[in-house]
């Protein structure tokens, strides 16, 4: 608004100046402000206002820190290669406006559900940033390779970690179960590597590839390996994600607390070990719509649940608002 007003004044000054010059009246005119001086003042104000707006829209990226602590270990950026890798991801996070804002807004909801499970399994809380990089904190995320959910399990590997994937159930979208499955993988990899950053790298590249490169390059941590570009960037993205979620203002993002998407505890959880011929009717019997039921239980596929083996499923009945 201030920019528009300054432009309007500038146009008015130019118009009045040209009118006065063309008038040619010999009558004594009242003393007035020199239009050239006024134009200079207004232009200076305009430039300052435009610079402020550009700074707001395009904030400077945070400086590369000397070090970051991740999962109890300190990582330093004291070589050109380390510094430039970190700088690249800082720039990417700063200008990736749509995803960055959405991740911030989603973080309160999904971190509240995931962090207690990580802690209960002895997995450092910092590994929640791996999940953020995997899915942008979108519980419905589905990659081009078919990886699904917050933790991006493939259909082929999900059963190895206790997740059911069938025509009516896809537990890769069950936040509790997929996080438990992720913990199984992370702890298994930590038992092999003894280093959480290497565990994170293996989540992206696979344990076989990381183990082979550790052996070939005679290193103990993936952070010091020469890796394919995607995996190398992946580790630095996780570190930048930690910086971003802990201090979004330093990246130029300011989301008021009331704009974060809240986590609402379920009204109740119903355990079923039987078939449900109509989830629509099941939802109505529990006082919610089918849409509410599906949104709270993304792992349910379709409008029925066939359960011939008597498996116990926990179905969330959401507290709607």
Q: What is the mean pLDDT of the chain?
A: 88
Answer whether residue 296 is part of any domain: yes
Answer whether residue 293 is part of any domain: yes
The reported pLDDT for the residue numbered 100 is: 87
Mean pLDDT of 114-130: 98
The reported pLDDT for the residue numbered 32 is: 58
The reported pLDDT for the residue numbered 125 is: 98
- Least confident interval from 39-53, 91-105, 223-237: 39-53
Regarding whether 208 and 72 lie in a shared domain, the answer is yes
| Domain boundary pick from 237, 259, 281 | 259
**pTM reported for the whole predicted model:** 0.81
Q: How confident is the model at residue 26 (pLDDT cuts 50, 70, 90)?
A: very low
The reported pLDDT for the residue numbered 303 is: 97
Regarding whether 43 and 85 lie in a shared domain, the answer is no
CB atoms within 10 A of CB 123: 25
Q: Cβ contacts of residue 45 below 8 Å, gap of 6+? A: 6
Answer whether residue 153 is part of any domain: yes
Regarding whether 273 and 238 lie in a shared domain, the answer is no
- 153 close to 184: Cβ distance less than 8 angstroms: no
Q: How confident is the model at residue 185 (pLDDT cuts 50, 70, 90)?
A: very high
The reported pLDDT for the residue numbered 6 is: 46
Regarding whether 48 and 109 lie in a shared domain, the answer is no
Q: How confident is the model at residue 94 (pLDDT cuts 50, 70, 90)?
A: confident
Answer whether residue 101 is part of any domain: yes
- Residue of 226 and 320 predicted with greater confidence: 226
Q: How confident is the model at residue 60 (pLDDT cuts 50, 70, 90)?
A: confident
Regarding whether 214 and 175 lie in a shared domain, the answer is yes
Regarding whether 118 and 209 lie in a shared domain, the answer is yes
The reported pLDDT for the residue numbered 15 is: 47
The reported pLDDT for the residue numbered 45 is: 72
pLDDT > 70? residue 10: no
Q: How confident is the model at residue 54 (pLDDT cuts 50, 70, 90)?
A: very low
Number of domains in the chain: 3
What is the Cα–Cα distance from 314 to 170, expressed in whole angstroms? 13
What is the Cα–Cα distance from 278 to 271, expressed in whole angstroms? 16
Regarding whether 175 and 104 lie in a shared domain, the answer is yes
Mean pLDDT of 306-319: 96
- Residue of 55 and 320 predicted with greater confidence: 320
- Helix (H), strand (E) at residue 280: helix 279-285
What is the Cα–Cα distance from 127 to 178, expressed in whole angstroms? 14
Range of the domain at 298: 268-317
pLDDT > 60? residue 31: no
Q: How confident is the model at residue 34 (pLDDT cuts 50, 70, 90)?
A: low
Q: Which residue has the tokens 């519980």?
A: 139
Q: Give residue-wise pLDDT tens across range 195-253.
A: 999 999 999 999 999 999 999 999 999 999 999 999 999 999 999 999 999 999 999 88
**Maximum mean pLDDT: which of 3-7, 37-41, 55-59, 113-117:** 113-117
Regarding whether 285 and 149 lie in a shared domain, the answer is no
Q: Give residue-wise pLDDT tens across range 288-309.
A: 999 999 999 999 999 999 999 9
Mean pLDDT of 137-146: 96
Answer whether residue 283 is part of any domain: yes
The reported pLDDT for the residue numbered 252 is: 87
Regarding whether 109 and 40 lie in a shared domain, the answer is no
pLDDT > 70? residue 63: yes
What b/e string do you get for 198-235 counting C-beta neighbours within 10 Å, with b at 16 or more? bbbbbbbbebebbbebbeeeeeebbbebebeeebbbbb
Regarding whether 277 and 159 lie in a shared domain, the answer is no
């Amino acid at each position: 608004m201030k920019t528009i007003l300054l432009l309007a004044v500038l146009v008015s000054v130019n118009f009045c100046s040209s009118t006065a010059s063309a008038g040619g009246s010999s009558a004594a005119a009242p003393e007035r402000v020199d239009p050239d001086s006024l134009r200079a003042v207004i232009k200076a104000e305009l430039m300052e206002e435009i610079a402020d707006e550009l700074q707001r829209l395009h904030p400077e990226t945070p400086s590369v820190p000397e070090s970051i602590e991740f999962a109890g270990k300190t990582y330093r950026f004291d070589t050109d290669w380390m510094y430039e890798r970190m700088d690249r991801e800082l720039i990417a996070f700063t200008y990736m406006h749509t995803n960055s804002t959405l991740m911030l807004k989603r973080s309160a909801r999904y971190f509240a559900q995931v962090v207690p499970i990580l802690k209960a399994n002895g997995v450092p809380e910092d590994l929640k940033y791996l999940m953020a990089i995997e899915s942008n904190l979108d519980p419905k995320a589905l990659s081009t390779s078919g990886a699904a959910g917050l933790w991006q399990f493939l259909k082929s590997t999900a059963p190895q970690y206790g997740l059911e994937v069938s025509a009516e159930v896809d537990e890769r979208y069950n936040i509790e179960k997929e996080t438990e499955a992720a913990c199984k993988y992370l702890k298994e990899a930590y038992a092999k590597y003894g280093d959480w950053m290497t565990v994170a790298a293996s989540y992206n590249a696979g344990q076989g590839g990381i183990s082979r490169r550790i052996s070939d390059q005679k290193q103990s941590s993936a952070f010091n390996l020469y890796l394919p570009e995607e995996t190398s960037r992946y580790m630095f993205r996780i570190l930048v994600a930690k910086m971003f979620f802990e201090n979004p203002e330093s990246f130029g993002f300011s989301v008021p607390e009331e704009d974060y998407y809240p986590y609402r505890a379920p009204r109740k959880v119903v355990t079923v070990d039987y078939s449900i011929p109509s989830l629509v009717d099941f939802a109505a019997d529990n006082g919610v719509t089918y849409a509410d039921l599906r949104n709270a239980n993304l792992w349910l596929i379709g409008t029925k649940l066939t359960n011939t083996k008597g498996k116990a499923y926990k179905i969330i009945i959401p507290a709607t608002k």
